[in-house]
Amino acid sequence: MTNISSDKHNQAIACKEIGDQALAEQDYEQAIEYYDQALAADPAYAPAYDVRGVAKALLGCPQEALADFNKAISLNGHCADYYNNRGNALTELKKYPEALADFNKALSLEPKKAYIFYSRGRLYEDLKSYAQALQDYDTAILLDQTHSPSYLHRESMKQKLQAQGKQVADLEEKLGQNEPLSDDFYNNRGIARDFVHLHEQAIADFSRAIALNPSCAGHYYNRGQAQWALGHYEQALADYDEGLRLKPLISGYLFRGMANLTLQRCQQALADANQAIRLDPFAPQAYALRGNIHFSLKQFKKAVADFDKSLDILPMQADILENRANANYHLQNYAASLADLNQAMLLNPKSPQAYLLRAGCYTELKQFAKATEDCLHVLKFDPNNQAAALWLKHIRNKQQNKA
């Protein structure tokens, strides 16, 4: 290799490293630009083709990604990652036989990589071969108890197989035969169970994770979330308190603030929201929480100001637009409320609360036909919606009184 080619290769490596940082920050287009520069410097640099393909796949361009993975493999046919990545692109393109061949090739090169078994499991899942998918997710977990996506998909496959009347082996027993179960196992399984609404089982798993590693704040936060899902707010608060004692996080203050607000402990909730804002003045969720607290305290102008800040940081949040509309409604700013509701309904056209609040605005503006139309729209999709029926009755009474 000449000095010039060596310099070019080093330049390619440097550009790829910058691109990798952009990729980690989910700035995929910027990452691709750096990978382009890397390949301009060294057109035979296979890793840059591979990661450029990953970035293109994450941008939703699997066909373009496939071309990059093909090039990477043509330059180096002995890298399992390249075959795994190409297999994922082929799965996305529904080219299942070719994808399966790539995953099998990847496993022949690296037979103990959990993420490759996970990728092949996703392929089997697409093919509705649930038993084979489950087996691959089990193997991924056996190889790496920290591989959280495998737990999530395993729980989904387990439920589908049980719905078909099939028995599913206990992974805990299978795993315990090979090595001690870690807190990662119970925490990850708890997250998966919580995701599929098996909250009681999730709490049991998080409790076992805590018993194995009582100094891990994340386990307490996770158990708190499962307690929250069951409406056990006091227990959730206790877990958030312990999580915050071990590792103060913005998310922890937000969790605890929401629990305190639900329990109508508004001053404690306000303290949590303010602390989250102090930790990160650009956290839209923190301003949204504080806005909800001010709304609960009937401090509607302060609520609007906080919802403004949340939407300035992160626009197009349908729920926050609805909340700001509600605060403006109570301030009798009906035009502002309507503007927010119309925008929110473009983002989430199936929100009954938005239609009913808009009906309220139209009623106050004496636009009874529009108000009636919104109530009827809700009742069309939910005939048992009592709030819509009451609003409709209220609108008709208003019309009669006007007449």
Q: What are the residue boundaries of the structural domains of the chain, listed by start?
A: 1-103, 248-315, 322-403
SS3 245: helix
pLDDT of residue 176: 63
Residue 403 pLDDT more than 90?
no
How high is the mean pLDDT of the chain? 95
Whether the per-residue pLDDT at 402 is higher than 70: the answer is no
Nearest residue to 69 via CA among 80, 83, 58: 83
Q: How confident is the model at residue 208 (pLDDT cuts 50, 70, 90)?
A: very high
Closest CA to 194 of 227, 148, 146, 154: 227
**Dihedral-angle region of residue 231 (phi above 0 means left; psi in -120 to 50 means alpha; beta otherwise):** left
Residue 401 has pLDDT above 80, yes or no: no
User: pLDDT-derived band of residue 4, with 50, 70 and 90 as boundaries?
Assistant: very low
| pLDDT level of residue 1 (50, 70, 90 thresholds) | very low
Measured in whole angstroms, how far is the alpha carbon of residue 379 from the centre of its chain? 31
Would the CATH topology of 1-103 be identical to that of 322-403? yes
Give 3-state DSSP helix, strand, coil % of the chain, rounded to 5: 80, 0, 20
Residue 273 pLDDT: 98
Q: What is the pLDDT of residues 41-79, one digit of tens each?
A: 999 999 999 999 999 999 999 999 999 999 999 999 999
Share of the chain above pLDDT 70, in %: 98
What average pLDDT does this structure show over 203-216? 98
What CATH number matches the domain at 322-403, 2.40.110.10, 2.70.98.20, 1.25.40.10, 1.10.10.60?
Answer: 1.25.40.10
The DSSP code for 179 is: S
**The pLDDT of residue 178:** 65
List the one residue out of 113, 108, 185 whose CA is nearest residue 154: 185
Q: How many angstroms separate the Cα of 353 from the Cα of each of 130, 144, 363, 388? A: 38, 44, 15, 9
Q: What is the pLDDT of residue 6?
A: 86
Q: Tell me how far apart the alpha carbons of residues 229 and 224 are, in angstroms, rounded to a whole number.
A: 9
Instruction: Write down the pLDDT at residue 122.
Output: 97
In 196-265, which residue ranges form alpha helices assigned H by DSSP? 199-212, 217-229, 233-246, 250-262
Cβ–Cβ < 8 Å for 354, 331: no
Fold of the domain spanning 248-315? 1.25.40
Rounded to a whole number, what is the distance in angstroms from the first to the last CA of the chain? 93
Structure tokens at 326: 């509600």
Task: Give the pLDDT mean for 295-302.
Answer: 98
pTM score over 0.75: yes
Mean pLDDT, rounded, for 388-401: 88
User: What integer pLDDT is reported at residue 360 of this predicted model?
Assistant: 96
- For the chain, state the CA radius of gyration: 27
Domain topology for 1-103? 1.25.40
| Sequence-distant (≥ 6) Cβ neighbours of residue 116 within 8 angstroms | 80, 84, 103, 106, 107, 110
- How does DSSP assign 5-30, residue by residue? HHHHHHHHHHHHHHHHHHHHTT-HHH
At residue 249's C-alpha, the angle toward residues 245 and 255, to 5°, is: 90
3 pLDDT band (50/70/90 cuts)? very low
Please check the confidence at residue 173 and state whether its pLDDT lies above 80.
no
